[in-house]
Each structure stands twice: as structure tokens, then as C-alpha cells.
A and B are shown apart, each in its own frame.
Chain A
Amino acid sequence: MKLLEVKNLSHRFKDGTEALKNVTFSVERGEFLVISGKNGSGKSVLMHHLNGLLKPTSGRVLFNNQSIFRDILSIRQKVGLVFQNSNSQIISQTVEMDAAFGPENLNLPKAEVKKRVNSALQNVGLEDKREHYTRSLSGGEKKRLAIAGVLAMEPEIIILDEPFTNLDLPGVKQVLKKIINLNNNGHTVICITHELEKMLAHADRLIIMDSGEIVCDDIPEKALISAPSYGIRIPGNIEKENTVDILKRMTWLG
């Protein structure tokens, strides 16, 4: 069942730059989709469109067969964005207050906000740090807090923009485990990253973007073949090795 559909989406900035050109794809409920591409390929602009933060020059984004702009606040609750820079996303001084920011914006009753915050912090393993000062958290903890802030809004889709930026090995492992858990628990996950070697083994599908266009949309084993030609590094030689074997190595877990 299609949960999110992007139809002929184009975006042109005021200076004439075409960031997205006729982008079309859909996301199934429960799917783990990875969108990759080199810098400037339009990945992040696309992410902003999926939550209605940008308005397209042409084309549409549909959620459950309805335009996202019909009820944008409800869509922003259902399509949760985790931004690349966790520091921008964290706007409170304590972990608990930050996780509560989204539910408070939805004007939920206090008891419901508390329940959601508890559940989200427990989900990301930060329940013991609820009173901690947010700026004293490590990079991995900040990223998990950003995820908790989105989970507290109980979204149906979670979109993560470059989730492993600035994280060390333990940080990447923490965040990756969390992403996989979320998907296993039924969340639809879209991960926007150029660091495929860290997590592609767990994905259901890979979309490759180049110059604002989708140039490849397939299962990871097949999509990997074209990845190097679009400037995406993979940990192996596709001419000498089977892509299935390469794909098995594309995780930082284990």
C-alpha cells in the first residue's frame, strides 16, 4: 500500500537553479528506503518537500492519496523529519523538554505529552538522561534525542537526513540500531545519505539522485551497480565481486 507518493516534483530556486527535476517515486508502508547521491544532487531539497517545508514549482506530494498541503499540520505530525544538524533541531535545555516540544505544539493534554515523551525517550534509550542539559550530550545521544523528538509526535514515516554525520563508530552503531528497530517495529523509514557503506545492507530499496533527478530506483543489489558512476562510494569492486556479497558488508553493525 502506497503511503507517500511524489509525482512529477520539480523545484526551481529564485536564482534559477533547478534543484529537482520531475521527480517521481512512491513509498510503501513499512518500507526502508534509502535515497543517495553526491552533494548537491537534490536529496535534502527533496526531504523538505516531503514534509511541506518547501512548495514545489510543479508536481505534487501525496500522503495517503491526499495532497500534503490539504492539512499541513497533520502531515508534519505524520511525516517526521530528523535533520542533519541535531543542534538545530534541539531547542530546549533539557532532554525531556526537547522531546516534549513537538507534542506541546500539537496542544495535546499534559498527561498525553508526558506519556509520549516517556515512551519516546525509552525507545531511544535516553530515559535516564531526561533531566540532562542537552548541550552536554554526545553526538550520538543528540541524534537519538532528535529522533525521540520526532517519535514523540507519533509519525507514520520517519525521514532522516544524513543520520551519521559527525558521529564516531559507537555513535553510528547506536543510531543505526535505532533506525533498524524503528523499521522492524513497523515505522516506514526514509534515510537520506551518501554513506551507503554504513547501512545499505538493511534497506529494502535504493534511490540514486543526480543533478535533481532520480537516475536509479531499484532493490539495493541491482541499484548498487550504477552507484559508483554517480559518485557514490561502495566498499568493493562491482566488476570483480557479486553485488550481493558487497551488500552484505554494507553495515557498521556486526
Chain B
Amino acid sequence: MAETAFFRYQDRSSFLKKVDPRIKMSLLLIYTVLLYHISTGGLILLSAFTIFLFMANYRIKSIREIKGALILSLFIGTAAFLSSYNLFFTILAVTRFLMTILLGLVLIGTTHSGEIEKAVYWFVKPVPFISETEIAMRVRLTITFIPDIMVTAAQIKEAGLSRCIQHVKNPVRKITALAVPLLYAIIRRAEGTALTMEARCYSGTRDYTLKQFTLKDLLHLSTGLAVAAGTLLV
């Protein structure tokens, strides 16, 4: 059976797939910072732009896929309301959180993990005393395996339900019934992956060269920055 999960690369053509990963990552960073520092008008504009990008580039197969994000927003909303007793403030907090998630999904949905690996290498290389190759590969593997971890967690949960875990009253027992096998599965998976990477000659020295920036890339960056400037001006 084909596995599907939230936080996955989208295998359909899209304009954003042609944009340089370094530009996408830079704009993601700028937009995320802006989300938490712009006026309400700017937030509405940026949210509309983010939703447009998300709708155009990421397809959710069922509402269950985003259940986790929605539950987390509910927690954030509750915490924001309890700390402020202000509904407007609560809506802003939840919007900011949801837009952060959507921006992340747009990047993940339109960029190969291999391209992100190269872009991370490019960003981290000038930083002294840290291994850019290690960080780049770790980011790549994390992005690749998050959907797998979610699928595994869902399978473990289903296995628990099939053996009546829902009737257990002790919440700690419920959590450990999911967390312990999940942790074990992740460790096993990491070991297996490390072995297969070694078998395929991975030694940390890979070709990390990205193509030179072109005029088109500058145009993409300028457009992205213009949207950012627009949100600041509103």
C-alpha cells in the first residue's frame, strides 16, 4: 500500500519547484520573522499570500493529515486566551502559528530534500567550527523521515487500538504504549539507514555544488522581498 503522510514532498509540477532552494529558504526565514513582528494589516496580507502559495503547491489528501497541527493550534489558542483573555490576541496567535506551519509545508512540498541539503551546506559553510556536511545530511534525513515517523506512529497507534488501549485509564500507560515502540522503531530505522548509506559509499564527501545564481533567481528574490516590504507598509 502506498504510504502518505503530512509534511511530504509533492510529486506534481509547480512554479516554486523551479525557484532556487537558497532563495526559498531565505524568504521562508524572512516571512517567518515578519509573521511575528508586523501589524495586523500586514499579517492579513502575508496570511493571504501564504494561503495562496499553500493552495497552489500543497495538496492535503484528507483532513486527518493536518489533525496534529489543528490540535496544536487549539492548545496555542487556549494558552493565548488564558494568558490574555483577549479573543483578538488569541486569533492572531493561532494565525501566526498556522501560517508558520503552512510556510514550512510550502518549502517541503516544493523542494527535494537533496536540494535542501545542498542549500543548508551553502548557508552553514561560512560558519567556523561546525561540520557543514554533517548538518546538511542531518537536515536532509530529518526532512525525509518525518513523514515515515508519522506513518509509523499511526501504525503503532492502530495496533494499540486493536488491542483495546483506549480502555486503559492510566494516561502514562497510554503514552508509553505509543512512545516506547515508536522510539524503538526510530532507532532501528536510523541504524538500518546508516548501514544502507555506508553500503552506498556515503563518507561525508559529496558534491554540494549548486548552480550559479541567475537573473531569474534575482527576479524571484526581488518579488519575494517586494511582498515582504508590502506587508511592512500596510
Q: Which residues of A contact B (CB under 8 A)?
A: 48, 51, 53, 73, 76-77, 80-81, 83, 85, 87-89, 91-94, 97, 100-102, 104-108, 110, 113, 131-133, 135-138, 149-150, 153
Contacts and interface: CB of A to CB of B under 8 A. Distances in A.
A69 to B, nearest CB: 14
Contacts, number: 99
Given A88-B196, A91-B196, A92-B112, A105 B202 contact: yes
B195 interface: yes
A79 B2 CA distance: 30
A83 B189 CA distance: 13
A104 B197 CA distance: 12
Contact of B201 (A48, A93, A105): A105
A113 B114 CA distance: 14
Interface in B128-151: 140-141, 143-144, 147-148, 151
Interface string B105-142: 00000001110000000000000000000000000110
Contacts of B202: 101, 105
A107 B199 contact: no
Contacts of A87: 148, 189
Interface stretch (B4-12, B22-30, B48-56, B221-229): B4-12
Nearest to B190: A88
Nearest to A133: B11
Contacts of A153: 200-201
B10 to A, nearest CB: 7
Nearest to A136: B2
A106 B206 CA distance: 7
Given A76-B200, A77-B201, 12 more contacts: A83-B192, A87-B148, A87-B189, A89-B200, A91-B141, A91-B196, A92-B112, A101-B202, A107-B205, A135-B8, A135-B148, A136-B2
Contacts of B201: 73, 76-77, 102, 105-106, 153
Nearest to A74: B201
